[in-house]
Structure 1
Amino acid sequence: MKTKVLMVCLGNICRSPLAEGILKSKVDANAVLVDSSGTAGYHIGNPPDKRSIAVAQKHLLDISAQKCRQFSKNDFKEFDLIYAMDKNNFINILSLANTEKDKKKVRLLLDEVNLGINEVPDPYYGGVDGFEEVYQMINSACEAIAKKLN
């Protein structure tokens, strides 16, 4: 049976699409399913932000076919692990949980590594450099997650 992992940020256009693409590149697709979503519904159906697509391409990953979707209560049934990019999204996800079992699935992504911070900053309003920094943070966390899952 596949382990199902969900990456979650606010709009599902910057951080979580990168996290989805990065983790997919590090795990066996036959054993692990990776998806992403956002706690807000601003961009449903849209592709990731052009800057996220560009930074992924720079690292030889193609995330351009992803489509934004909103996190739902049903995701607790579908996924084994749910990673939030920051504390606000972590709290928003937990507020939808019905059971302790659901709550135990939710984690902060950067708690998987010791980077001295536990939130992936939202690069949306910054420049291209912010997307590269975010990529590196997410990549470190996904490396640690992949080691556990593989």
Structure 2
Amino acid sequence: MNFEALSPDEATPFRIVFVCTGNICRSPMAEVMLRDLVTRSGLGRLITTSSAGTGDWHVGEQADARTVAALAKAGYDGSHHRARQFDPAWFADLDLVVVLDHSQERVLRNWAPTEHDRSKVRLLLSFDQKQAELRDVPDPYYSDDALFDSVLGMIERANLALFTQLAPAIRQGVR
């Protein structure tokens, strides 16, 4: 994705959604961490973040307690999150759909109504050269607290790489 051509304004911020399977572990982590990074950089009015899942079985639930705990240990607040399912109608209003693994990539590209919408779907780790080869952020749901912490670290590094690529283009578009 070429971020150099961006020209967002305050009326239409750059809109990013993170998507995992149930929207209670990985995608809430990514959403909360990138929102914090964007806010601290002063670009909060120009970039919006949200998250969703491909499945509907956790809709309305809070993030997994282990997600909230891992985020809290790292200084983030994930306590306000409520899970929701991705709606293909959202593609028209989104600039970037960041998926956490190749199964969501496949699902979202199948749901995308146009080739342009399919091009919005990107693997999170693809933004980080050091992690890109891994492709997938592991789903910690059936594991222990240590994997939640490890996943949080992976997401944090990839989000920083994403932000490092995105922020200059967003700033350049600001007059």
State the TM-score bracket (shorter-chain normalisation). over 0.9
Other-structure match for 1:147: 164
Q: Which amino acid aligns with 1:52?
A: T
1:22 lines up with 2:33 in the alignment: yes
Other-structure match for 1:99: 114
Alpha-carbon distance in structure 2 between the residues aligned to 1:89 and 1:98: 16
TM-superposed deviation, 1:147: 1.3
1:117 lines up with 2:108 in the alignment: no
Other-structure match for 1:127: 144
Alpha-carbon distance in structure 2 between the residues aligned to 1:55 and 1:75: 29
Normalised by the size of structure 1, how large is the TM-score? 0.97
Other-structure match for 1:2: 13
TM-superposed deviation, 1:148: 2.1
TM-superposed deviation, 1:6: 0.4
Residue from 32, 37, 48 that aligns with 1:33? 48
TM-superposed deviation, 1:146: 1.1
Normalised by the size of structure 2, how large is the TM-score? 0.84
**SS of equivalent to 1:64:** coil
Other-structure match for 1:55: 70
Alpha-carbon distance in structure 1 between the residues aligned to 2:44 and 2:157: 19
> Could you say which structure has the larger radius of gyration?
2
**SS of equivalent to 2:88:** coil
Alpha-carbon distance in structure 2 between the residues aligned to 1:42 and 1:97: 21
Q: What's the C-alpha RMSD, in Å, of the aligned pairs?
A: 0.8
Q: Which runs of 5+ in 2 are unaligned?
A: 1-11, 168-175
Q: Which runs of 5+ in 1 are unaligned?
A: none
Aligned pairs, number = 150
Alpha-carbon distance in structure 2 between the residues aligned to 1:78 and 1:50: 30
- Of Structure 1 and Structure 2, which has the larger fraction of its residues in helix? 2
Alpha-carbon distance in structure 2 between the residues aligned to 1:68 and 1:79: 18
TM-superposed deviation, 1:149: 2.4
TM-superposed deviation, 1:22: 0.7
Query: Sequence identity of aligned pairs in percent?
Result: 36
Residue from 137, 146, 153 that aligns with 1:136? 153
Q: Which amino acid aligns with 1:23?
A: L
